[in-house]
Amino acid sequence: STHRAEGEYARQSLQAPASMEAFWMPFTANRQFKARPRLLASAQGMYYRDVEGRQILDGAAGLWCCNAGHARERIVGAIQQQAATLDFAPTFQMGSPLPFVLAERLAEIAPPGLQHVFFTNSGSEAVDSAMKIALAYHRARGEGQRTKFIGREKAYHGVGFGGMSIGGLPNNRKWFGPLLAGVDHLRHTLDLQRNAFTPGLPKHGVELAEDLERLIALHDASTIAAVFVEPISGSAGVVLPPEGYLQRLREICDRHGILLVFDEVITGFGRVGKAFAAQRFGVTPDLMTTAKGLTNGSVPMGAVFVADAVHETFMHGPPGAIEFFHGYTYSGHPLACAAALATLDTYAEEQLFERAIELAGHWERAIQSLKGAPNVIDLRNFGLIGAIELAPREGAPGARGYEVFERAFHEGDLLVRVTGDTIALSPPLIIEPAQIERIVNVLGETIRKVE
């Protein structure tokens, strides 16, 4: 792969910036980073190139986004041509063709019955939108007292006040006051005692779904709007659902008239071998939030998939009345729609969802081969997701994980994701077996060095 940069701004992408002072970086130790930056300059296929010209293998699909690999020609062309054709068009009381075309395409690959799509610009906005759809749905049905939400410990649902509130990451919550009222949390399903080194789904823990019955009894079903879970959590450290767990949540929600929402921001678009984890697990939610792989990460976009029955509830008022008082200036942005359409075509043409299934056995053996490496206390895998759990250093949780991440990048030319002492892996679905070997070899060596 070589640097391809045409034009004034792309050329600036290839060199370290003159100053790094003004950009306040998100979710980053700014002072530490700016003292020793990791700057990606260009990307192609499975690889990044950094500003020093080193080729970096992408073990993270950027940030769980680039499922088809980087700078795919069809997507690049779609964005360029769309920018020159229709750069922007409002979608409030106005329209343009592409959001309609894209929503129909998405409905084709969606789980059965989720045939309506609300567009946002990110996963966080998709979560907020889903929360508002849930509230307004119950209100439209005369159950306006259903205002509470159930989330889960260790969950990540983005950074809006809604997503933060239903999320379960202490660091993301504690700085920001009381958050949304009326939210309770299920226990998480990570069990390093009973399930350590289990390939695929955990065998133990289905009983944790009964937490939902307990919280329903505590709050009364008639007050609860929706339950939000990630089928598989990513940012919170790759937590897998025990066998039968999601089915059980579905049954309990059905029994009590509570909406079940799957946050598929990282599991969507082939990561686990089907378009969505809902299909892989055979459990259909009422709402499904997505982003990231929707445009292969190329242009910001999110979407909420909405069950037909939920959507139908909104369509009963006077025909001239706005049914849902919600939306973003950039909902259904033409560039994002073009990028998404080209992305869906790329996934389909190269059968990348199926590829994630084909490679999963190889992936599992590779990940699980790290058993016995120093300080490795658990290995998890499902589809093309992997996690290496390291024992925290005494008094310094996260330090060992961060060192592995940093050294894998600087010394192993490998990009992975770190959260706490968990190394999370989610390569583009175009990965070749030899590149899988390289990922585990680099990580095995790095983990030994960091011991």
Q: Assess contact for 349 and 383: CB atoms under 8 A.
A: no
Q: Which is nearer to ligand PLP, 291 or 447 (CB)?
A: 291
**CB-wise, 167 or 412, nearer to ligand PLP?**
167
Q: Which is nearer to ligand PLP, 121 or 446 (CB)?
A: 121
* Nearest-CB residue for ligand PLP: 123
Tell me how long the chain is: 451
SS3 227: strand
Give min distance, CB of 118 to ligand PLP, in A: 15
**Lookup: tokens for 330:** 């950039």
User: Taking the complex as a whole, how short is the minimal distance between the CB of residue 428 and ligand PLP, in angstroms?
Assistant: 16
> In this structure, what token pair is assigned to residue 125?
């906005």
Q: Count CB atoms within 10 A of the CB of residue 64.
A: 24
Place of tokens 């005494």: 394
Q: Which is nearer to ligand PLP, 215 or 291 (CB)?
A: 291
**CB-side exposure of 363: number of CA atoms within 13 Å?**
28
Residue 124 CB, nearest distance to ligand PLP (Å)?
3
- HSE-CB at 232 with a 13 A cutoff on CA atoms is 29
> In angstroms, what is the minimal distance from the CB of 15 to ligand PLP?
27
What distances in angstroms separate CA 216 from CA 30, 178, 226, one per listed residue? 42, 22, 11
Rounded distance between C-alpha atoms, residue 445 and residue 369, angstroms: 13
Give the β-pairing of 422-425 and 417-419: antiparallel
DSSP letter for each residue of 46-112: TEEEETT--EEEESSHHHHT-TT-BS-HHHHHHHHHHHHH-S----SS---HHHHHHHHHHHHHSPT
Whichever of 156 and 245 has its CB closer to ligand PLP, that residue is 156
Cα torsion through 259, 265, 271, 277, rounded to 10: 0
Min CB(234)–ligand PLP separation in Å: 5
Residue 326's nearest CA partner among 134, 77, 191, 86 is: 134
Closest approach, Cβ 183 to ligand PLP, in A, equals 16
Q: How far apart are CA 242 and CA 208, in angstroms?
A: 9
Comparing CB distances to ligand PLP, the nearer of 253 and 291 is: 291
CB of 206 to ligand PLP, least distance (A): 22
Q: Which is nearer to ligand PLP, 42 or 121 (CB)?
A: 121
Amino acid occupying residue 375: N
Let me know: does 167 contact 151? Beta carbons within 8 Å: yes
In whole angstroms, the minimum distance from the beta carbon of 377 to ligand PLP comes to 23
For ligand PLP, the closer of residues 166 and 450 by Cβ is 166
Which is nearer to ligand PLP, 102 or 261 (by Cβ)? 261
Closest distance of CB 237 from ligand PLP, Å: 11
Measured from the CB atom, is 42 or 120 closer to ligand PLP? 120
- The enclosing H or E element of 400 equals helix 399-412
Place of tokens 């964005």: 79
- Amino acid sitting at position 112: P
CB of 328 to ligand PLP, least distance (A): 12
Q: Which DSSP letter does residue 180 get?
A: S
User: Rounded CA gap, 416 and 439, in Å?
Assistant: 9
Q: How far is 180 from 356, CA to CA, in rounded Å?
A: 38
The residue (of 124 and 298) whose beta carbon lies closer to ligand PLP is 124
Smallest gap from Cβ 434 to ligand PLP, in A, equals: 28
Closest distance between ligand PLP and the C-beta of residue 330, in Å?
13
In the complex with ligand PLP, which residue's Cβ is closer, 75 or 373?
75
Residue type for 29, please? A
CB of 187 within 8 A of CB of 221? no
Binding site for ligand PLP (CB under 6 A): 122-124, 127, 156-158, 230, 234-235, 263, 265-266, 291
